[in-house]
A and B are shown apart, each in its own frame.
Chain A
């Protein structure tokens, strides 16, 4: 069945360093969504990408959707301790079902 793979599973960075998580789908996606889950919390929607090659920015966060609509990335510039949490990508197939990646857990050392 359709799968969404996300790497790395864990990432430890020093505050101020950059961070990137990557997401790959086995099939072409209608769109891709990104969520953040703080420790002890529930996933919260960050952004959605729909168009091939789309790039969106939210302050220090940059989201990209691949040309083939099968991969995506989230890049955080100059991490802060408030960025700690698990970042999930979720691909939406043409049937409407949202399939989540396994998530990347980010730890930031102050």
Chain B
């Protein structure tokens, strides 16, 4: 079946503009994660959603970052007033359940460049 998809694949924006990044998880997966990966760096956790529970926002770096997940499926990560340090690849992952036994399936990522 279809994997996790993300759009756009690349986004170039000017400093100060807002951007929206979209993630379509695998159908039926209740858990959804957002990560940020700077060039040559590891995965920085941003936020995760699980079912109808309140999301864990503990990884969001500032109040310019927010995320929504509508209807328990598609998620949008919004970055307001973008800064150059926001440039990175933003990865989304979904999992059938937030629990001890389920792997995460990653999307291809959105490469964000802030000029």
Separation in Å of the A84 CB from the closest CB of chain B?
14
Interface secondary structure of B, over-half rule: loop
Q: A45-B105, A97-B56 are in contact. Are A30 and B42 (CB under 8 A)?
A: no
**Contact call A42/B99, Cβ cutoff below 8 A:** no
A96 to B106, CA, bound (A): 17
**Contacts of B100 on A, CB cut-off 8 Å?**
30-31, 50, 92, 96
A88's contact among B40, B42, B101, B107, by CB below 8 Å, is which? B42
Chain A residues with a Cβ closer than 8 Å to the other chain, count: 23
Q: A96-B50, A98-B33, A100-B43 are in contact. Are A43 and B106 (CB under 8 A)?
A: yes
**Contact call A43/B108, Cβ cutoff below 8 A:** no
**Contacts of B88 on A, CB cut-off 8 Å?**
none
**Contacts of B40 on A, CB cut-off 8 Å?**
105
**Contact call A98/B104, Cβ cutoff below 8 A:** yes
- Residue-by-residue, is B6-43 near A (CB-CB < 8 Å gives 1, otherwise 0)? 00000000000000000000000001010100001111
User: Which B residues contact A (CB, under 8 angstroms)?
Assistant: 31, 33, 35, 40-43, 45, 48, 50, 56, 58, 91, 93, 98-101, 103-109
